[in-house]
């Protein structure tokens, strides 16, 4: 399934958040239209979210697409214990995320946005 970056959603968040500073974003792309593909997409995205959470990353929904229950775009920070969570660099996040990629899945960096092709590009 070709990756749909959901550029308008990413751009809307970037424009809104511009005044608040740059956050690293994790983008799982547009939620697929078909129910079966949506379930596969959500299951694959959850694998990445659980893996990152178990390694001390904090994912917060950044923007919903308005059509589904799943959130395709998250801000990512490191859990700093009792202190405020700390920002992460997109390059270091990508190296961690790549460890969880299965065959066909890949990542791309666009500025401070890490795209994860969770369904692959089949």
- 52, part of any domain: yes
Residue 6 has pLDDT above 90, yes or no: no
- 2, part of any domain: no
Which band of pLDDT confidence, cut at 50, 70 and 90, is reported for residue 62? Answer: confident
**Structurally, how many domains does the chain consist of?**
1
Which band of pLDDT confidence, cut at 50, 70 and 90, is reported for residue 65? Answer: low
E strand spans, the chain: 24-27, 57-63, 73-78, 86-87, 106-110, 113-117
Residue 28 has pLDDT above 60, yes or no: yes
- 65, part of any domain: yes
- 64, part of any domain: yes
Averaged pLDDT for residues 3-23: 76
Structural domain span for residue 103: 7-117
């Amino acid at each position: 399934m070709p990756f749909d970056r959901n550029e308008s959603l990413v751009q809307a968040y970037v424009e809104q958040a511009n005044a608040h500073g740059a956050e690293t974003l994790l983008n799982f792309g547009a939620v697929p239209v078909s129910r079966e593909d949506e379930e596969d997409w959500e299951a694959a995205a959850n694998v990445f979210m659980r893996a990152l959470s178990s390694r001390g990353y904090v994912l917060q929904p950044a923007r919903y697409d308005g059509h589904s229950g799943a959130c395709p775009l998250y801000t990512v920070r490191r859990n700093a214990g009792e202190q405020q969570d700390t920002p992460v660099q997109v390059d270091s996040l990508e190296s961690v995320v790549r460890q969880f990629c299965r065959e066909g899945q890949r990542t791309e960096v666009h500025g401070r946005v890490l795209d994860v092709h969770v369904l692959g590009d089949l």
